[in-house]
Amino acid sequence: MDDMHFDLVVIGFGKGGKTLAAALGKLGKRVAMIEQSAAMYGGTCINIGCVPTKSLVHHAEHPGAGTPPERHRQAVEATRALTAAMRGKNFAMLDTIDTVTVITGKATFLDPKTVRVAAGEDVLRVTAETIVINTGAVPTVPAIPGLRESTRLLTSTDLIDLDHLPKHLAILGGGYVGVEFASTYAQFGSAVTVLDAAPRIMPREDEDIAAAATAILRGAGVEFVSDAHVTGVRDIDNGVEITYEIDGQTHTLAADEVLAATGRTPATEGLGLDRAGVRTTETGAVEVDEHLRTSQPHIFAIGDVNGGPQFTYISLDDYRIVADQLLGGGKRSTRDRKFIPYTVFMSPALSRAGLTEREAVARGLPVKVVEKAIADIAAMPRSKIVGETRGLMKFVVDRETDLILGATLLGVDSQELINLVTLAMRHDVTATELRDSVYTHPSSSEAFNEVLGTPPVRTH
């Protein structure tokens, strides 16, 4: 077994880890980037996450010529080419730095400062003064009888690389991942049925928002079965049969494939964290403090593996925190994060930052709610220009301070608009200031002039 020593070892090629590796490598530090698969250079986002899924969303919204299966196939091929190109650039980003070594193999801790890396019969033992765990998360497959054994089971990783278009896709879970894939594959031409154990999709959103999203998805052909407790899955000729119960009554659904869209689990299996003395939480995430240090002060955990919000941009901010610990003043922490936005890339996209109306009321805050349907916003001609007038804008505003407590934007360009709103919220820009700002025309942001100037639909 060969031995190598580094200043920094990063396990996992995700956003935060690769950025940290590059930053320290450029300063002349000896860095090892360990990635278990060459197919994952660059991390989850560009290979099996954000980039390929949003590429498919784009192609579903802007279909090319041909039959639905042909258009789907073209979209998959274009997505594969895109991810391959980005994977190569990500590898080159580190490989061209003289002091950075990319090692492909499975990493396992031997002790707090030693990691064993195996690739077939080849084995390395690497040591480092600082180690960063950046292994991400993997799709969760629920323990439903027959599901894991089914040859028709798909995870999100499987679905984005599926060569054929399912005629009927069953989706287990009405959360954000399930909704995105339901929207995308309905537009490709699949019949889509979402089986959800909850009374409605998107339980974290306000009821009016979830209702608007549901109406849009139903309009695209998605069928929803709520309060459905799935009890079994079995393969049948040319497909799969799903058994579920509603109010004690048993029902069955036949489909071509079944997608498990029930969350993601931190990828810690096989890392040997116990040998490193690294503690994990009840959910299996690596336990970290506000500076992302584990129970071993020289070992950090960043990205999805530490149990925080599972967003690429959070992984990038994790990099900033660790870099500040290693190179800066050590003051930056997760406590600095305020109003983190997110987007669900259904069509049109749903984006939110801050409190929902329900959360604000539960806290006893004095709020007013302003809300308007996209189709009714006269000051937003862009939605009509691009032919996407579905959705609504909703703001929750503090009646006493005029500060925006939360915003939910369901409509065209919401993934961009939410960043402007979030910046305003972080810097205490009032709703009146946002309303009276000057925006380019025709743009989606000028809708704020009108929406924030409308009388409140509710006050609390």
> Would you say 305 and 298 are in contact if contact means Cβ atoms under 8 Å apart?
no
According to the annotation, is 263 in a ligand binding site?
Answer: yes
Q: Residue 127 and residue 248: Cα distance in Å, rounded? A: 57
According to the annotation, is 406 in a ligand binding site?
Answer: no
72 is catalytic: no
> Would you say 189 and 72 are in contact if contact means Cβ atoms under 8 Å apart?
yes
> Would you say 432 and 407 are in contact if contact means Cβ atoms under 8 Å apart?
no
What is the three-class DSSP state of 165?
A: coil
Q: How would you write 177-225 as a 3-class SS string?
A: HHHHHHHHHHHHCCEEEEECCCCCCCCCCCHHHHHHHHHHHHHCCEEEE
According to the annotation, is 429 in a ligand binding site?
Answer: no
> Would you say 302 and 315 are in contact if contact means Cβ atoms under 8 Å apart?
yes
According to the annotation, is 450 in a ligand binding site?
Answer: no
> Would you say 301 and 322 are in contact if contact means Cβ atoms under 8 Å apart?
no
Q: Which of 426, 411, 415, 260 is nearest to 340 (CA)?
A: 426
According to the annotation, is 329 in a ligand binding site?
Answer: no
According to the annotation, is 189 in a ligand binding site?
Answer: no
Residue in the block written with tokens 């006893």: 364
C-alpha distance from residue 373 to each of 214, 299, 390 (Å): 15, 49, 8
Residue in the block written with tokens 């530490």: 306
User: Which residue out of 62, 251, 298, 441 is catalytically annotated?
Assistant: 441
What amino acid occupies position 292?
L
According to the annotation, is 208 in a ligand binding site?
Answer: no
Sign of CA dihedral 148, 40, 86, 122: negative
- Residue 256 backbone phi and psi in degrees, to 5: -80, -45
The alpha-helical segments, DSSP class H, found in 96-167 are 156-159
From the number of C-beta atoms within 10 Å of its C-beta (0-12, 13-18, 19+), residue 118 rates as middle
According to the annotation, is 54 in a ligand binding site?
Answer: yes
According to the annotation, is 175 in a ligand binding site?
Answer: yes
- Residue 35 backbone phi and psi in degrees, to 5: -130, 130
According to the annotation, is 173 in a ligand binding site?
Answer: yes
Q: Residue 251 and residue 244: Cα distance in Å, rounded? A: 5
Q: Residue 205 and residue 305: Cα distance in Å, rounded? A: 25
Q: Is the peptide bond before 442 cis (omega within 30 degrees of 0)?
A: yes
Residue in the block written with tokens 């801050």: 354
From the number of C-beta atoms within 10 Å of its C-beta (0-12, 13-18, 19+), residue 211 rates as middle
According to the annotation, is 141 in a ligand binding site?
Answer: no
Residue 110 CB-half CA count within 13 A? 15
Task: Give binding residues for NAD(+) as ranges.
Answer: 173-180, 263
Task: Give binding residues as ranges.
Answer: 54, 173-180, 263, 304
Task: Give binding residues for FAD as ranges.
Answer: 54, 304
List active site positions.
Answer: 441
